[in-house]
């Protein structure tokens, strides 16, 4: 029996040494230590031996069982360790590989011009303030000398918010211009005032190459003692010169806005035809970029500012028209159609 056990030991340990996969090791365990395994069978046959031989063989068989179990555990541990090392080795970062390209975004052309414009006006002492896009009838029209039924309301094709108050009126709208910010600002602040107020505006507009239904405006307002039309022209000339260069031509013409007296519009010579007349400028040779004027005395009175002491100028500029003029963009619809071929050019 002792010889049989010795042979079994040599065979079992020899086989285990050469095994390197889990299923092979499991088969080995079942073959030697399982319920019907070779060693288990010997252990079960021990009671059949004579008492003398049984004692010796029993001791040797149990020692062999402990040895095989320990060898099995060691083998399983070393296999687990090898697996971990292999996984670690595979996922190790190779710093010599080229990196993935990072796609950099860029600022939208409207944002770029807004920042450039804000910086120019800031350098002339103007602060920058923003306000609400959903407005009340009062700030968008009434406080600007445009009461209900006034024909000037037709100048702004309005998108009304679907809300009716207790009087059966619709007091809310998407602001059609940034001019309501003049009132909101003057209600809170006393002169001297120098401020620009950029933001989105909305109109129920027939869309074409120079008209969108959502676009940006920048409102400008300066109120102080002794402000004149010369300050208005000087400020806007300076802005146009810094943004477009010395060569661009600027034109002021009389215009009508109920909240200024007198009122003007400012235009810049067309970037496409250089004043000859084309589709973009509707054959006029000029592109209007803003409306402006001296703040109407009634508007000043409405915010408790005495027009006998203070005067002011204001302007409202269409922001998209500026990059159109600067970069020669011939269709405003390109700005918000999310076409990367357009946006990546700026
Ligand atoms: C006038 C006098 C002031 O003291 C202050 C502000 C103003 C401007 C006035 N609030 C206003 O909105 N005038 S406007 O209707 O002529 O628009 C001003 C500018 O916005 C235009 O000169 C034009 O550049 C731009 N604009 C108007 N409709 C547009 C547009 N830009 C794109 N799409 C549209 N649909």
Per residue in 27-56, pLDDT tens?
Answer: 999 999 999 999 999 999 989 888 888 888
* Closest CA relative to residue 253, chosen from 285, 298, 210: 285
Residues 153 and 208 reside in one and the same domain? yes
Residue range 253-304, pLDDT digits in tens: 999 999 999 999 999 888 778 788 887 778 889 988 899 999 999 999 999 9
Q: Find the DSSP H helices in 142-228.
A: 180-188
Token couple for 221: 């307002």
In a domain, 130, yes or no: yes
> Distance (Å, rounded) from C-alpha 224 to C-alpha 307?
10
What pLDDT sits at residue 20? 87
> What CATH number is given to the structural domain containing 135?
3.30.930.10
- Whether this prediction's pTM lies above 0.85 is answered by no
Q: Which of 45, 63, 90 is the last residue of a domain?
A: 90
Residue range 197-220, pLDDT digits in tens: 999 999 999 999 889 999 999 999
What pLDDT sits at residue 297? 98
Q: What is the mean pLDDT of residues 326-331?
A: 85
In a domain, 99, yes or no: no
Q: Which atom of ligand 1 is nearest to the CA of 207?
A: 35
* Closest CA relative to residue 135, chosen from 168, 177, 93: 177
Q: Which atom of ligand 1 is nearest to the CA of 317?
A: 19
What pLDDT sits at residue 88? 76
> Distance (Å, rounded) from C-alpha 229 to C-alpha 252?
11
In a domain, 95, yes or no: no
Residues 260 and 302 reside in one and the same domain? yes
Distance 207 CA to ligand 1 centre (A): 15
pLDDT: which is higher, 152 or 254: 254
Q: Which of 90, 122, 155 is the last residue of a domain?
A: 90
In a domain, 23, yes or no: yes
Residues 116 and 22 reside in one and the same domain? no
Instruction: Report the share of the chain in percent with pLDDT over 70.
Output: 100
Residues 113 and 86 reside in one and the same domain? no
Q: What size, in residues, is the chain?
A: 346
Residues 57 and 127 reside in one and the same domain? no
Residues 213 and 298 reside in one and the same domain? yes
Residues 132 and 216 reside in one and the same domain? yes
Residues 35 and 127 reside in one and the same domain? no
Total domains in the chain come to: 2
What is the H or E stretch that residue 254 is in? strand 250-255
What pLDDT sits at residue 254? 96
Instruction: Give nearest CA residue, ligand 1 atom 14.
Output: 291
Distance 61 CA to ligand 1 centre (A): 102
Q: What is the mean pLDDT of residues 91-100?
A: 81
Q: Is the pLDDT reported for residue 156 higher than 90?
A: no
Q: Residue 47: which domain range?
A: 2-90
Instruction: Give nearest CA residue, ligand 1 atom 13.
Output: 291
> Residue 188 class from Cβ within 10 Å (0-12 exposed, 13-18 middle, 19+ buried)?
exposed
Task: Label residue 169 by pLDDT band (50, 70, 90).
Answer: confident
Characterize 69-104 residue by residue with b for buried, 16 or more Cβ atoms within 10 angstroms of its Cβ, and e for exposed: eebbeebeeeeeeeeeeeeeeeeeeeeeeeeeeeee
Residues 13 and 147 reside in one and the same domain? no
- Residue 291 Cβ contacting ligand 1 at under 6 Å: yes
Mean pLDDT, all residues of the chain: 92
Distance 177 CA to ligand 1 centre (A): 7
Q: Which of 35, 60, 90 is the last residue of a domain?
A: 90
Q: Find the DSSP H helices in the chain.
A: 2-18, 22-33, 38-45, 51-91, 109-123, 137-140, 180-188, 229-244, 297-302, 321-327, 340-343
In a domain, 100, yes or no: no
> Distance (Å, rounded) from C-alpha 304 to C-alpha 296?
13
Q: Which of 157, 210, 219, 318 to mutate to test the pocket of ligand 1 (most atoms within 8 A of CB)?
A: 318
Residues 118 and 187 reside in one and the same domain? yes
> Residue 68 class from Cβ within 10 Å (0-12 exposed, 13-18 middle, 19+ buried)?
buried
CA 261 to chain centre: 41
What is the H or E stretch that residue 317 is in? strand 311-318
In a domain, 202, yes or no: yes
In a domain, 256, yes or no: yes
Q: Are 67 and 9 in contact (CB under 8 A)?
A: yes
Residues 7 and 146 reside in one and the same domain? no
Which active-site residues does the annotation give? 156, 177, 203, 217, 260, 314
Q: What is the mean pLDDT of residues 91-96?
A: 76
> Distance (Å, rounded) from C-alpha 220 to C-alpha 315?
5
Residues 169 and 235 reside in one and the same domain? yes
Q: Which of 131, 154, 175, 177 to mutate to test the pocket of ligand 1 (most atoms within 8 A of CB)?
A: 177
Residue range 239-248, pLDDT digits in tens: 988 988 887 7
Q: Are 170 and 145 in contact (CB under 8 A)?
A: no
In a domain, 6, yes or no: yes
Sheet containing strand 193-202, edge to edge, reads 127-128, 193-202, 214-224, 311-318, 286-295, 260-269, 250-255
């Amino acid at each position: 029996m002792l010889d049989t056990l010795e042979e079994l030991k040599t065979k079992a340990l020899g086989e285990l040494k050469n095994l390197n996969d889990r299923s092979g090791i499991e088969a080995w365990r079942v073959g030697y230590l399982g319920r019907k395994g070779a060693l288990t069978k010997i252990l079960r046959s021990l009671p059949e031996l004579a008492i003398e031989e049984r004692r010796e063989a029993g001791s040797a068989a149990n020692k062999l069982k402990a040895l095989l179990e320990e060898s099995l555990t060691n083998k399983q541990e070393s296999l687990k360790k090898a697996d971990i090392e292999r996984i670690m080795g595979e996922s190790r970062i190779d710093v010599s590989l080229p990196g993935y390209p990072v796609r950099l975004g860029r600022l939208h052309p409207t944002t770029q011009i807004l920042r450039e414009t804000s910086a120019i006006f800031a350098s002339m002492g103007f602060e920058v303030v923003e306000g609400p896009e959903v407005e009340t009838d009062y700030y968008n029209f009434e406080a600007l000398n445009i009461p209900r039924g006034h024909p000037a309301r037709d100048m702004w094709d309005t998108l009304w918010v679907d809300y009716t108050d207790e009087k059966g009126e619709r007091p809310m709208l998407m602001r059609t211009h940034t001019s309501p910010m003049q009132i909101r600002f003057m209600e809170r602040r006393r002169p001297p005032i120098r401020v620009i107020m950029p933001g989105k505006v909305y109109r129920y507009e027939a869309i074409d190459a120079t008209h969108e239904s959502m676009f940006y405006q920048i409102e400008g307002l300066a109120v102080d003692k002794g402000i004149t039309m010369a300050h208005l022209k000087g400020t806007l000339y300076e802005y146009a010169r810094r943004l477009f260069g010395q060569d661009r031509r600027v034109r002021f013409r009389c215009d009508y806005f109920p909240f200024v007296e007198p009122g003007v519009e400012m235009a810049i010579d067309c970037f496409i035809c250089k004043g000859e007349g084309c589709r973009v400028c509707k054959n006029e040779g000029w592109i209007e970029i803003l409306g402006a004027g001296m703040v109407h005395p009634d508007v000043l009175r409405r915010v408790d500012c005495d027009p006998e002491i203070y005067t002011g100028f204001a302007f409202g500029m269409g922001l998209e028209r500026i990059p159109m003029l600067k970069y020669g963009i011939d269709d405003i619809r390109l700005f918000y159609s999310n076409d990367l071929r357009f946006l990546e050019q700026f």
